[in-house]
Amino acid sequence: MAHGPAKGFTRWLYTTNHKDIGSMYLWFSFAMFFLGGFFALVIRAELFQPGLQIVEPNFFNQMTTMHGLVMVFGAVMPAFVGLANWMVPMMIGAPDMALPRMNNWSFWILPFAFAMLASTLFMEGGAPNFGWTFYAPLSTTYAPASVTFFIFAVHIMGASSIMGAINIIATILNMRAPGMTLMKMPLFVWTWLITAYLLIAVMPVLAGVVTMMLMDIHFGTSFFDAAGGGDPVLFQHVFWFFGHPEVYIMILPAFGVVSAIIPTFARKPLFGYSSMVYATASIAFLSFIVWAHHMFTVGMPLFGELVFMYATMLIAIPTGVKVFNWVTTMFKGSMTFETPMLFSIAFVILFTIGGFSGLMLAIAPADFQYHDTYFVVAHFHYVLVPGAIFSITAAVYYWLPKWSGNMYDETMGKAHFWLAFIGLNVTFFPMHFSGLAGMPRRIPDYNPLWADWNMISSVGAFLFGAAQLLFLFIVIRTIIGGKKATAEVWEGSHGLEWTVPSPAPYHTFSTPPEVK
Amino acid sequence: MEQKQEFETYYVPEQSKLPIFASLGLFLTVFGLGNWLNEMSAEKEGSGVTVFLLGFVVLAAVLFTWFSKAIDENIKGLNSVQLKRSYVWGMGWFIFSEVMFFAAFFGALWYLRNISLPHLGEGPTSELLWNDFKADWPLMTTPDMALNGEAAAITGPEATMGNPGFSKWLTWLPFINTAILISSSVTVHWAHTALKKDNKKAFNFWLGFTVLLGFIFLCVQVYEYKHAYTDLGLTLNAGVYGTTFFMLTGFHGLHVTMGTFMLFVQWLRSVTKGHFSHSDCFGFEASSWYWHFVDVVWVGLFIFVYILG
Amino acid sequence: MLSISRRSLGLLFAVAVAFLPALVYAGEWQLNMTEGVTSVSQSVFRLHMVILIICVVIGIVVFGVMFYSMYAHRKSRGAKAANFHESTTLEIIWTVIPFVILIAMAFPATSTLKKIYDTDNADLDILITGYQWKWKYEYLGEDVSFFSNLSEKSRQQIYSKAPKSADYLLDVDEPVLIPVGKKVRFLVTAADVIHSWWVPDIAVKRDAIPGYVNESWTLVEEPGTFVGQCAELCGKDHGFMPIVLKAVPQAEFDAWLAEKRAAATAIAEAAKQQLSFEELYAKGEEVYISRCAACHQDNGQGIPGVFPAIAGSAVATGDLASHLSVILNGVNGTAMQAFAEQLNPVESAAVTTFQRNAFGNNTGDIIQPIDIVNFQQDQ
Ligand code: HEA
Ligand code: HEA
Ligand code: CUA
Ligand SMILES: [Cu+2]
């Protein structure tokens, strides 16, 4: 087994190697990030001014829908799976993922699924236009014919996620090197263990709800049709039972990444390791009992409204524990501010701001004013863009030397950071204001009252997009060449992945290392 | 966790063509199916069904090769104890994902019965929108029918799959089917015990018997569906009662089909190739866990769909 | 580091310059949620301010500590890393304090929510039904009901054919009126997909779920005009279904109701007249553009795969009865709604005449209002 990768492009098609598969996941997700970002730019271009200039309303809705879907399922989730593929085996001292062939299958389903989803843009009637939350009956009785392909795309990408998650759990539970007890695992591994559990618990529910849609559309059932005794609100309950844990699926691994980076550059061990583990588990647990906070206005009884409000507010506590632990890790450290650290610090600040707006949304009576406005859009972009995306970016800078053997250009990395940081705040901060001032989301055109904020947002979006082009350039340049990286790469790095040479050999830990 | 474990190499397979072709097969299957469904709904002719069948053949062939290969590797002794544990974890979590899939449908049933229908049947919703529709379960007169002043064609307990009263259970098909399925769980367990004693003859017998019971269960279910459609007018389109009834029992039936097929394959392996011994029987064990899972789901169905139905 | 920060300063400047046009454009800069005009909306506003301030304060403390260590404990200043990494006391403190803060927030939130849910003892019931892309208002027990569409004025401005007015996209042809000082109950539902009836100034946002009725209420003390929009994605023209709510004194409200009833009688009268082809065609074009073109498009071509074309349509050029049936009764389970209740017989006759003769559908048919009345009676 001590051989290298196969020659030619079939290496990528047939590979069973966790590093190859991790790289493919990451590249795929990068491509999807650009595609989803392109859709976002269409949205922002149309919203630059009041009036309809560039696209028609129906197409605008398709852009919003595809942007949400592609970013969530195509960019963020695969990126984290890619990181898990690369890092989990190396962090726990395993030779590979537990089920290597299935691992490749999990990956290769995705390009097919997204090709099918993207192809709906060219079908008669157009792509899905009912929002990434696809509420029935807009997505059933009133949907374009392409909804059928959307449903099957969700089915197979769900299958991919479930297989990926099973693989990660089996790897973590079964493949740790001797001595690597659960409470010695790096936090990234812990957060992924819990995320994988969430995935297996909720992706089948998503599959269930799209199956109900399929039946309503093609076989005349009445799950979501009051005429037959069904209920459109049932759709929302089932969807959000998946949907809320889904947003934590997109943030827990990010917590893990940041918990790896901050101690490295503060040169001080992570503060409160075990409380971090418990906090992650508590967030995961709570995520199952808060879903209806997305539905405060659907007319639930008062009692339900209150229960979901209280439960949602509770999430602030374990999340706060995490934030406080990161801050205390930095406290009395010896800090330097390389690019990964900059992105991580921005993560802590901006994610917290996003969390605060989340807490405001959780207050049901106030949510009656916030719901379905740009305030919500501001909230979730603050937790997703400087949250998920920044953590992924930080992870790439942090581990790229290990993957490629070369150091990235620090000046360019910092330029990328500042461009992205500014672009992002310029894009999304004004959305708080337009939202509070009453601008609904998912509209292609709006009253001039909100014109200024929208113009600023649009400018910021293009700036942020340009920053991502720079990122692509930096990554490619680093892979091609550059200063050679040492095995440790960072002065303050700890953990098994830093004990192997850079670039990491094709097969690592064929014999498990001894962990003390 | 486990101390001082002998180190064995973990088998990491070479490059493999299987996954990419499996992806292709899966893609063709769903793409064909999507086209087919859209063509049916638009009442057009098309190639959907061909693509679907093609994809299905590809997928089935790849999976067949894949499983054969895994079995081969096992026979060659490539699989370490640790790898076998990976398979166990894999199957276990897969079954958990299936549990959650059913949970979505059970949840839907619960919500529709206990939240939606009461809402539809009272207050302004009933008065203003549905012509004073009154909700009861099983729902035979839908809100739509109430609106148009229609009544259910057949009413009363005979019209539903519901509980006919305890005294009639022995002639009640769902009860008989429950008995069949529960016995099959017992027989598959006996097969397991026999295998543990390396009594292959008893093993083959009980396993084959289980497959037979599974098959009988499916036949009874088909009969019941036919009865529902032709005699009772209970169809997928008959409102939420038909919807939830057919979707829950239908998906369960699909899983029984899968489980029966899996057990049948294990039986073939044992009978024709002499596979399985007390220490090496993961293929069989995994199938039998699946079978027990299908059984447990049925008990849930029996309670929530039939008895309380 | 220095060169970096100079670079970022330069960038900031560039961004600021980019915004100049925006600042010039600036009309009002509304930054915050509206306080609104009802006791509910004001409680909501206070609640919003309280949680906002709490969050800001927590933010200042947390980020303050962080910025302090980023400044004081940096390697370039010679900071040596300490090695502490656990403190149960700290963990307990920062679990308990947020918990207490949350409980403090929960009290006003609960009482406000209770107030919002108290729909009992209303003086007036209005049934609000969301349609793809208009609202229908029915004054229960008053025998008054009407549809409210985006105003023609706004429609003209969408493609910059006319300059945008301050109420662009926020004005309608028929506002909904309520009497001041009376508790009004809104019964909200929908005819096709989910909509959401939202007027920020009274802090009412209720989803309109097809087949279900949701309840909400308001009590406005002073006369005024309040605007809002549909707040749930409902298809193509979700951005174009505004709400205009007018609170007026009781006497004015009663007069308005009487006027509405009188108008209904006049319409029934008007159905008896005979109109010329030209009159019908011209009127029909008007109706078509304002009511049908959202889907079937100005040029009658529809949107392939979504909305069928009227031009050359087998229905619009074929059997009159089925054409009338589509228009008046709609097509169940599709976006084509029953227009019988939205258009009066004159309008229906006109639009039918128009569709059968426009876009190259040269059937030459003339449909009179009385034909519509007869068709409906025959059903
Ligand atoms: C990564 C994704 C992510 C994350 C992490 C979160 C985190 C949270 N979200 Fe968010 N949310 C989304 C993604 C996410 N959300 C998305 C995508 C939507 C919109 C979906 C759609 O409709 O399209 C949404 C919508 C959404 C809504 C519905 C709004 C509406 O439609 O009306 C609500 C309502 O409660 C909500 C609440 C919260 C809360 C309470 C948290 C909490 O987890 C936040 C907790 C964090 C903190 C509070 C900050 C740190 C804590 C401290 C410093 C401690 C002290 C603090 C206090 C005591 C205040 N979110
Ligand atoms: C992880 C998820 C994620 C991410 C990363 C983003 C990233 C961005 N999102 Fe969005 N967004 C969602 C998830 C996400 N979003 C979701 C779930 C919704 C809700 C959908 C719904 O309502 O159904 C939404 C909705 C949403 C809206 C509201 C639409 C509406 O309500 O109609 C807007 C509006 O501005 C927006 C903007 C942006 C922008 C500008 C970015 C930027 O950060 C994107 C930056 C990336 C690029 C720009 C691409 C990179 C560069 C190029 C393509 C090269 C060319 C560019 C230049 C030369 C400039 N997003
Ligand atoms: Cu109606 Cu949005
Ligand atoms: Cu949520």
DSSP string, B268-287: HIIIII---BTTB-HHHHHH
Which tokens in the block code for residue C32? 């915050």
- Annotation: CATH topology of C274-378: Cytochrome Bc1 Complex; Chain D, domain 2 (1.10.760)
Residue A5: predicted pLDDT: 83
A318 forms bridges with which residues in the sheet? none
Domain match, B195 and B294 both: yes
**A494 included as an active-site residue:** no
Q: Do C297 and C337 meet the contact criterion of CB atoms below 8 Å apart?
A: no
Do residue B90 and residue A102 have CB atoms under 8 angstroms apart? yes
Sign of torsion over alpha carbons A136, A138, A143, A146: negative
Q: Do A227 and B144 meet the contact criterion of CB atoms below 8 Å apart?
A: yes
Domain match, B52 and B85 both: no
Cα end-to-end distance, chain C, whole Å: 82
Kindly state the DSSP code that residue C246 receives in the 8-state scheme: E
Residue B157: predicted pLDDT: 52
Which secondary-structure segment (H or E) carries C220?
none
pLDDT tens digits, C274-329: 888 998 999 999 999 988 998 999 899 998 888 999 998 999 998 898 999 999 98
Residue type, C191: A
**Long-range contacts of residues A476-482, Cβ cutoff 8 Å, at least 24 apart:** A477/A408, A477/A409, A478/A400, A478/A401, A478/A404, A478/A406, A478/A407, A478/A408, A478/A409, A479/A400, A479/A404, A479/A406, A481/A406, A482/A406, A482/A407, A482/A408, A482/A409
CA atoms within 13 A on the CB side of A398: 30
C7 C-beta neighbours (distance < 10 Å), count: 15
Give yes or no for residue A12 having a pLDDT over 70. yes
pLDDT tens digits, C32-53: 999 999 999 999 999 999 999 9
C: neighbours with 3+ CB pairs under 8 Å? A, B
pLDDT tens digits, B161-176: 777 777 778 778 889 9
**A259 included as an active-site residue:** yes
Q: How far is the CA of A291 from the centre of ligand 4 (A)?
A: 6
Residue C248: predicted pLDDT: 96
Residue C7: predicted pLDDT: 44
In ligand 2, which atom is closest to the CA atom of A250? 1
Helices (DSSP H) in C88-177: which residue ranges?
88-117, 152-157
Q: Which of residues 19-48 of B touch C (CB under 8 A)?
A: none
Q: CB under 6 Å to ligand 1: residues? A: A 133, 247, 250-251, 293-294, 312, 315-316, 319-320, 323, 352, 355-356, 358-359, 361-362, 367, 370-371, 376, 379-380, 383-384, 387-388; C 55, 58, 62, 98, 101-102
Q: How far is the CA of A354 from the centre of ligand 1 (A)?
A: 7
Q: Do C339 and C327 meet the contact criterion of CB atoms below 8 Å apart?
A: yes
CA–CA distance, A55 with C234 (Å, rounded to integer): 18
CA–CA distance, A394 with A259 (Å, rounded to integer): 11
**Chain C touched by B274 (CB under 8 Å):** no
Q: How far is the CA of A316 from the centre of ligand 1 (A)?
A: 9
Kindly state the DSSP code that residue C178 receives in the 8-state scheme: E
- When computed from its CA atoms, the radius of gyration of chain C, rounded to whole angstroms, is 29
The phi and psi torsions of C171 (rounded to 5 degrees) equal: -135, 155
Q: How far is the CA of A432 from the centre of ligand 1 (A)?
A: 14
Give yes or no for residue A243 having a pLDDT over 90. yes
Give yes or no for residue A512 having a pLDDT over 90. no
Q: Do B187 and B260 meet the contact criterion of CB atoms below 8 Å apart?
A: no
pLDDT-wise least confident of A115-129, A413-427, B156-170, B275-289: B156-170
Give yes or no for residue A118 having a pLDDT over 70. yes
Which tokens in the block code for residue B36? 């087919």
CA angle C60, C66, C67 (to 5 degrees): 85
**Chain C touched by B55 (CB under 8 Å):** no
pLDDT-wise least confident of A231-235, A335-339, B26-30, B140-144: B140-144
CA–CA distance, B273 with B200 (Å, rounded to integer): 12
Which secondary-structure segment (H or E) carries A508?
none
Give me the mean pLDDT over the C363-379 stretch: 86
Nearest CA in chain B to C215: B124
Give me the mean pLDDT over the B83-90 stretch: 92
Contacts of B178 (CB under 8 A, 6+ apart): B298, B299, B302
Average pLDDT score over chain A: 95
Give yes or no for residue B7 having a pLDDT over 80. no
Cα end-to-end distance, chain B, whole Å: 47
Which tokens in the block code for residue A321? 């524990």
Please tell me if the CB atom of residue C295 comes closer than 6 angstroms to any atom of ligand 3. Answer: no
Please tell me if the CB atom of residue C237 comes closer than 6 angstroms to any atom of ligand 3. Answer: no
Domain match, B197 and B261 both: yes
Strand ranges across the sheet with C134-139: C144-148, C134-139, C124-131, C184-190, C214-218
Specify the pairing of strand C195-199 against strand C204-208. antiparallel
CA–CA distance, A273 with A279 (Å, rounded to integer): 10
CA–CA distance, B246 with B234 (Å, rounded to integer): 9
Query: Which chain B positions have a beta carbon within 8 Å of C209's beta carbon?
Result: none
Query: Which chain B positions have a beta carbon within 8 Å of C189's beta carbon?
Result: 125, 128-129
Query: Which chain C positions have a beta carbon within 8 Å of A125's beta carbon?
Result: 303-306
Give yes or no for residue C20 having a pLDDT over 70. no
Give yes or no for residue C23 having a pLDDT over 50. no
Contacts of B3 (CB under 8 A, 6+ apart): none
CA atoms within 13 A on the CB side of C305: 17
Sign of torsion over alpha carbons A241, A244, A246, A252: negative
Q: CB under 6 Å to ligand 2: residues? A: A 34, 37-38, 40-41, 43-44, 64-65, 67-68, 71-72, 75-76, 131-133, 377, 381, 384-385, 388-389, 427, 441-442, 457, 461-462, 464-466, 468-469
Residue A186: predicted pLDDT: 95
CA angle A452, A453, A456 (to 5 degrees): 90
pLDDT tens digits, C231-282: 999 999 999 999 999 999 999 999 999 999 998 888 888 888 888 899 899 9
Give me the mean pLDDT over the C125-148 stretch: 93
Residue A211 falls inside a structural domain: yes
Nearest to A226, CA basis, from B125, B248, C140 = B125
Cis amide linkage into residue A128, ω under 30° from 0 = no
Q: Do A333 and A261 meet the contact criterion of CB atoms below 8 Å apart?
A: no
Interface test with B, best of C125, C187, C192, C206 (most B CBs within 10 A): C187
Do residue A205 and residue B103 have CB atoms under 8 angstroms apart? yes
Catalytic residue among A237, A441, A477, A494: A441
Q: How far is the CA of A241 from the centre of ligand 4 (A)?
A: 9
Give the residue numbers spanning the domain of B176. Answer: 79-307
Give yes or no for residue C139 having a pLDDT over 80. yes
Q: How far is the CA of A289 from the centre of ligand 1 (A)?
A: 14
Domain match, B86 and B35 both: no
Sign of torsion over alpha carbons C230, C231, C232, C237: positive
CA–CA distance, B168 with B157 (Å, rounded to integer): 12
Give yes or no for residue C119 having a pLDDT over 60. yes
Number of domains composing chain B: 2
Q: Do B287 and B259 meet the contact criterion of CB atoms below 8 Å apart?
A: yes
Give yes or no for residue A57 having a pLDDT over 60. yes
Q: Which residues surround ligand 4, an ion (CB under 5 A)?
A: A 244
Q: Ligand 2, atom 19: nearest CA belongs to which residue? A: A68
Residue C15: predicted pLDDT: 44
Residue B72 falls inside a structural domain: no
- Cα–Cα distances (Å) from A392 to A341, A426, C21, in that order, read 12, 21, 35
CA–CA distance, B94 with B73 (Å, rounded to integer): 22
High-pLDDT (> 90) share of chain C, %: 65
- Output b/e per residue, A425-448; b: 16+ Cβ within 10 A: bbbbbbbbbbbbbbbbbbbbbbbb
Do residue C15 and residue A336 have CB atoms under 8 angstroms apart? no
Query: Which chain B positions have a beta carbon within 8 Å of A291's beta carbon?
Result: none
Residue B7 falls inside a structural domain: no
Q: pLDDT higher for C161 or C119?
A: C119
**By three-state DSSP, how is residue A329 classified?**
helix
Which ligand does the CA of A471 lie closest to?
2
Residue C161: predicted pLDDT: 77
Residue A514 falls inside a structural domain: no
CA atoms within 13 A on the CB side of A265: 25
Cα end-to-end distance, chain A, whole Å: 27
**A246 included as an active-site residue:** yes
DSSP class per residue in B257-272: HHHHHHHHHHHHIIII
Phi-psi sector, A20: left (phi>0), alpha (psi -120 to 50), beta: alpha
Q: pLDDT higher for C61 or B227?
A: C61
Distance from the A172 Cα atom to the nearest Cα atom in chain B, whole angstroms: 10
Q: pLDDT higher for B108 or B81?
A: B108
**Domain C124-267 CATH class label:** mainly beta
Give me the mean pLDDT over the A193-215 stretch: 97
Residue C18: predicted pLDDT: 44
Identify the CATH number of the domain in which residue A251 sits: 1.20.210.10
Q: Do A329 and A263 meet the contact criterion of CB atoms below 8 Å apart?
A: yes
Which tokens in the block code for residue C204? 């009412």
Q: Do A361 and A379 meet the contact criterion of CB atoms below 8 Å apart?
A: yes
- 0.85 surpassed by complex ipTM: yes
Which tokens in the block code for residue A489? 């790469």
Whose tokens are 């509405």? That residue is C260
Residue B237 confidence class, pLDDT cut points 50, 70, 90 = confident
Domain match, B34 and B89 both: no
Domain boundaries, chain C: 2-75+88-116, 124-267, 274-378
Q: Is C123 exposed, middle or buried (0-12, 13-18, 19+ CB in 10 A)?
A: middle
Q: pLDDT higher for C14 or C315?
A: C315
Of B7, B143, B243, Cβ closest to residue A223: B243
Residue A366 falls inside a structural domain: yes
B114 C-beta neighbours (distance < 10 Å), count: 11
Contacts of B222 (CB under 8 A, 6+ apart): none
In ligand 3, which atom is closest to the CA atom of C195? 1
Whose tokens are 């007015």? That residue is C165
Residue A307: predicted pLDDT: 97
Number of domains composing chain A: 1
Domain match, B45 and B124 both: no
Contacts of C93 (CB under 8 A, 6+ apart): none
Residue B281: predicted pLDDT: 87
Residue B21 confidence class, pLDDT cut points 50, 70, 90 = very high
Q: pLDDT higher for B116 or C28?
A: B116
Residue C27: predicted pLDDT: 45
In ligand 3, which atom is closest to the CA atom of C193? 1
Residue B234 confidence class, pLDDT cut points 50, 70, 90 = confident
Give me the mean pLDDT over the A121-139 stretch: 94
Residue B299: predicted pLDDT: 94
Residue B63: predicted pLDDT: 95
**By three-state DSSP, how is residue C164 classified?**
coil
CA angle A251, A252, A258 (to 5 degrees): 90
CA–CA distance, B206 with B190 (Å, rounded to integer): 7
